[in-house]
Structure 1
């Protein structure tokens, strides 16, 4: 399975899928970005930015390069925002009693984000300093989202933003730990497709 997963053509297909998904994600956030003060623009589109980090990782890997900072940002933010979106859509079902087809699409695609970041962890060359920078970035983003009220707008869930902020902080801590553990496993898989 790993040979297929890490094959250059599989990674190229995944690169294209993630690139398209990243572009779509930024378009999806378009209306919120229009009402966001310019200083906060980089911090609002969480999921597409996570997917962008992974897309950059794939692109670099395909040309024989790597960057531990990009890889750490990819694994931590993909897990965090992948799980976050799944939970927010499930919470929408609990609060509103239903979910649109786009919501179910978001559950599937974001669960895929969280999984793919971990599946490719054996290829990452992440050190503790890379994880430390990723930790600062995701925790800083939590402050922007929940102290400065720039969190993604999820209709009915806005009434629960304090609870969501608390959940998100602890999800960030878990994501940092998951990213660290996943990237520190020594693996002979790193050179499978080289």
Structure 2
């Protein structure tokens, strides 16, 4: 058995494996919202309620991917309506671009903090592993999703809106204190990463559909 088997269609779309991924992502989503608990409480008390949707970035990305997995586990038996197909495409596009973006972003922030002297604990290594997993699974599964250019542009629009809310209204995820002086650089990195995630998603989608694997 070659290593390529583990990113083949037959392995990745195997129902037991899909269920395992679904459970892992569902549990990770729940943990992520718990991790954001204090910031969510502070946001509700200090901001209008509608802004809360822009706070928990990674768990919401994981939630989108969890729902996208359901489409693979339970593919529609009949042709979907335009609304249903459009909703699926948006969810799948959001699942991919947000998982890539926040998977990379979180790891970058953890190691940037460590580089500036913030000590790494076991929780940080757990977050590194889980967020890298988010990015990797998005890249592996993008070729199995149905979304196209329009949904990808819409999903990227959401990312850029989220970035704007984060850095104009102070809703960004809590950072190590040693990075507080670097917010402008982090803001630029975050916007750039949103565009990079869109480009990488599109390239991987085209590659997967061209090869049919």
> TM-score range with shorter-chain normalisation?
over 0.9
CA contact (8 A) 1:50 1:73 kept: yes
Q: Which has the higher contact order (CA 8 A, sep 6+)?
A: 1
CA RMSD of aligned residues (A): 1.2
Equivalent pair of 1:71/1:125 in contact (CA under 8 Å): yes
Aligned counterpart in structure 1 of residue 63 of structure 2, from 52, 61, 82: 52
Assess, with a 3 A threshold, how the Cα gap between structure 1 residues 158 and 39 changes in structure 2: closer, same or farther. farther
Q: Does residue 166 in structure 1 map to residue 188 in structure 2?
A: yes
Q: Report runs of 4+ in structure 1 exceeding 3 Å deviation.
A: none
Aligned-partner SS, 1:99? coil
Is the CA contact (8 Å cut-off) linking 1:126 and 1:184 kept in structure 2?
no
| 2: CA distance, partners of 1:94 / 1:68 | 39
24-33 vs 159-168, greater mean Cα deviation: 159-168
Is 1:11 the equivalent of 2:18? Answer: yes
Taking the aligned partners of 1:95 and 1:45, their CA distance within structure 2 comes to: 25
2:182 matched to 1:135?
Answer: no
Superposed CA deviations along residues 122-166 of structure 1, whole A, max 9, x for unmatched, are: 201121111111011000000000111110011312222111101
Measured in 1, the distance between the counterparts of 2:102 and 2:156 equals: 13
Q: In structure 1, the residue corresponding to 2:116 is in which secondary structure?
A: helix
Q: Which whole-Å CA distance do the structure 1 matches of 2:203 and 2:91 have between them? A: 17
More deviation, 25-34/117-126: 117-126
**Structure 2: 5+ residue runs without aligned partners?**
77-84
In the alignment, what sits opposite 1:108?
A: 129
Q: How many residues matched?
A: 189
Q: Is the 8 A contact 1:126 1:183 kept in 2?
A: no
Residues 125 and 183 of structure 1 are in contact (CA less than 8 Å); yes or no, is this contact kept in structure 2?
A: no
Structure 1 runs not aligned, ≥5 long: 190-194
Query: Which residue in the other structure is 2:82 paired with?
Result: none
1:24 aligns with 2:31: yes
Per the alignment, in what secondary structure is the counterpart of residue 125 of structure 1? coil
| 2:92 equivalent among 67, 71, 74 | 71
TM-score normalised to structure 2 length: 0.85
Q: Which residue of 1 aligns with 2:102?
A: 81
Q: Give distance in 2, aligned partners of 1:122 and 1:39.
A: 34
Scaled by the length of structure 1, the TM-score of the pair is: 0.93
Deviations 1:54-92, CA, capped at 9 Å, x for gaps: 000001221114711111111100000000001000011
